[in-house]
Amino acid sequence: MRYFVVSDIHGHYRALREALADHGFDPTKDDHHLLVLGDMFDRGTQSNEVLEYLYPLTLQDKCTVLLGNHDSFLLDFLKGDDSRVMFNIMFNGFGQTLWSLSGIEPKAENIDDLRNVIDERHPYLLNWLKSLPYYLEIGDYVFVHGGIDGSKLDWRQMSSRRDFIWSRQHELPGIPGKTVVAGHTRVPTIRKRTDDYKMLFLHSPEYFDILHLDGKILIDRYVEVSDEINVLELDIETP
């Protein structure tokens, strides 16, 4: 099976489709499978398009989506937890998601209306988000949005949802005998610290390329700056 692995789409549907086309992803081919390491939503303006592209692929078993921290913002909102809604609108690009999914400009006074409209337009969305796994093991690879602490005796049982979606894999011990593939941490911020990543991308786009470390692969291309998405292609034998 050939896996096309992406992460941190953040509502950039056009960038996603262009990246997959460049790499030859074809959902009509039996041996092609798309793997999304979380963060479908927020910041970009096309969260609705991202959802309407990925969800049908999951129903066809052509795509697997893992839960990311930004996906959890939407999940908590749809479950009725408004404790961080305005914070996420102000600082995490959540307003773009609400606008895209509802067609209504989000304001403090219309949060309940927004939730109702999204439920009406996408009645499957809450249960689908609830069903998204936190990690996926395939052969010698473990895929996750944030990170996995390989030093834990049983990381599967000893890790929480927060660990899987918020940790940063480059800061954690790897898993012996496995390669961990993660998103969440923008690759150029690992390679170089700067106050101007737009300028860095303009002059040195290679800083945004997939980062291979010992037992770890990081793929988040910082789409808000690059307007591009990394695609990791892996050929993995499956039972």
* pLDDT tens by residue, 127-141: 999 999 999 999 999
Rounded to whole angstroms, how far apart are CA atoms 232 and 221?
11
Q: Are 19 and 37 in contact (CB under 8 A)?
A: no
The pLDDT of residue 92 is 97
* Domain range list for the chain: 2-235
Candidate CATH numbers 3.30.310.220, 3.40.309.10, 3.60.21.10, 1.10.3720.10; the one for domain 2-235: 3.60.21.10
C-alpha to C-alpha distance for 138 and 140, rounded to whole angstroms: 6
pLDDT of residue 38: 98
- Kindly tell me if the per-residue pLDDT of 125 is higher than 80: yes
Which pLDDT does position 237 carry in this prediction? 86
Q: Is the pLDDT of residue 238 over 80?
A: no
Mean pLDDT of the chain: 97
CA R_g for the chain: 17
Q: Which distant-in-sequence residues (6+ apart) come within 8 Å of 187 by Cβ?
A: 207, 208, 209, 210, 211, 218, 219, 220, 221, 222, 230
Residues 6+ positions from 239 with CB-CB distance below 8 Å: none
Return the pLDDT at 164.
98
The string of pLDDT tens digits covering residues 45-61 is 999 999 999 999 999 99
Q: What local confidence, expressed as pLDDT, does residue 8 receive? A: 98
Rounded percentage of the chain residues whose pLDDT exceeds 90: 99
**Is pLDDT of 183 > 80?**
yes
> Tens digit of pLDDT for each residue in 138-182?
999 999 999 999 999 999 999 999 999 999 999 999 999 999 999
| 239 pLDDT more than 90 | no
For residues 214-234, give the mean pLDDT: 98
Mean pLDDT of 29-48: 98
The answer on pLDDT for 43 being more than 80 is: yes
Q: What is the pLDDT of residue 128?
A: 98
